Structure 1
Amino acid sequence: MLKLFGVLIAFAALLGGVNNVALAHGEKKGSNAPVVKEQTDWGVAGDAANVIRTVDVSMGDDMQFQPGKLEVKQGETIRFRVKNTGKLLHEFVIGTQAENAKHAELMLKFPGMEHDEPYMTHVDPGKTGEIVWTFNKAGEFEFACLIAGHFQAGMVGSITVAAK
């Protein structure tokens, strides 16, 4: 009986951990938390004071980004101003192809999951979100909407970061 109780506690902890994963991203809208500057394979959160240029991106219910391809230079800090022209919630997430695909699979399992990372923003219909990002690594990266079904429908764009 004690062994069964231990198994039940372990199972409950596992379920609690799964729920924590689904909620771990938190609510970004209106968050006053400081931006965490954690190095990723695709760059690091940028400082608004260092923005070189602003890139306007629109996204809509046709599951497309405009523009769908971006080019930046290694070392550039870019302000992405992302407008949702649709009637559905969309998001803009910068990452590697592998990271975005992995996260999109997680979003299929936990469709209500929200994000609070400096390389992603949820954007309500008719609203605009913003990301300031420093591309300190050269390579091929992407931006995508990872909301369940959107990524799978092809809502992905590319970012080429040219080496200095």
Structure 2
Amino acid sequence: MMRFAAIGLALALATIWTPSGAHDHHHGHESYSAGEPGDPASPSRTIEIAMNEMSYEPFRIEVKRGEQIRFVLRNVGTEDHEFLLATTRENLEHGAMMKKHPNMAHDEPNGVRVAPKKTAEILWKFTKPGTFEYSCLIPDHREYGMTGRVTVK
């Protein structure tokens, strides 16, 4: 009888457990290197970015410190692509994690995965000066050149 209870418990746990790569990924950042999530009630400038194999258009963007941008991200390619706004170092570190968990979905205000022929939006306020990047961290996409630059003046 005890053996059947143990088997039942193992089956119950197996049905509620999923591999770590299958979960949405949320860092729980207190702050972000490139600024902060935008406020939908505040004015913003819209920048459209086309994502395809393996580039972003435009590749380079300039914004003013304190400016809020509504990124409209259009995946015009045939594969899933991501837009993750951070420092180069952060994106390289996160990309290494993505190689271990390639199906990781982002649940953060500075990142989104977009399916082919779909559109997503990110609202972002650039509160810090510097150069930041947007990058696709799906394994090998960044390495094939899928990065862009944001300069905040």
Query: Quick check: 2:59–2:148 contact (8 Å CA) kept in 1?
Result: yes
**Which protein is richer in strand relative to its size?**
2
In structure 1, the residue matched to 2:4 is none
Within a 5 Å distance, the mapping from 1:1-164 to structure 2 comes to: 19-20=19-20, 23-25=23-25, 38-61=30-53, 63-162=54-153
| Distance apart, 1:24 and its partner CA | 4.5
TM-score by length of 1: 0.77
Secondary structure, counterpart of 1:105 in structure 2: helix
SS at match of 2:25: coil
Kindly state the Cα deviation for residue 154 of structure 1 after the two structures are TM-superposed: 1.3
**Alpha carbon RMSD of aligned pairs, Å?**
1.7
Question: In structure 2, what is the Cα distance between the partners aligned to 1:37 and 1:102?
Answer: 15
Change (3 A) 1:143 1:50: same
C-alpha offsets along residues 61-106 of structure 1, whole Å, 9 cap, x if unaligned? 2x01000000000001100000000110001110000000101111
Q: TM-score scaled by structure 2?
A: 0.82
Amino acid at match of 2:90: E
The answer (yes or no) to whether the contact 2:46–2:69 under 8 Å persists in 1 is yes
Query: Does the Cα contact within 8 Å between 2:134 and 2:148 map onto a contact in 1?
Result: yes
For this pair of structures, how many residues does the alignment match?
134
- Alpha-carbon distance in structure 2 between the residues aligned to 1:87 and 1:112: 17
Looking at structure 2, the residues matched to 131 and 45 of structure 1 have their Cα atoms a distance apart, in angstroms, of: 8
Question: Which stretches in structure 2 are left out of the alignment for 5+ residues?
Answer: 1-18
How far has the Cα of 1:21 moved from its partner? Answer: 6.6
* 1:102 maps to amino acid: E
Asked if structure 2 preserves the Cα contact closer than 8 Å seen for 1:51 and 1:79, the reply is no
Deviation of 1:110 (Å): 0.9
Q: Over alpha carbons, which structure has the higher Rg?
A: 2
Give distance in 1, aligned partners of 2:36 and 2:29: 6
Q: Which runs of 5+ in 1 are unaligned?
A: 1-18, 27-35
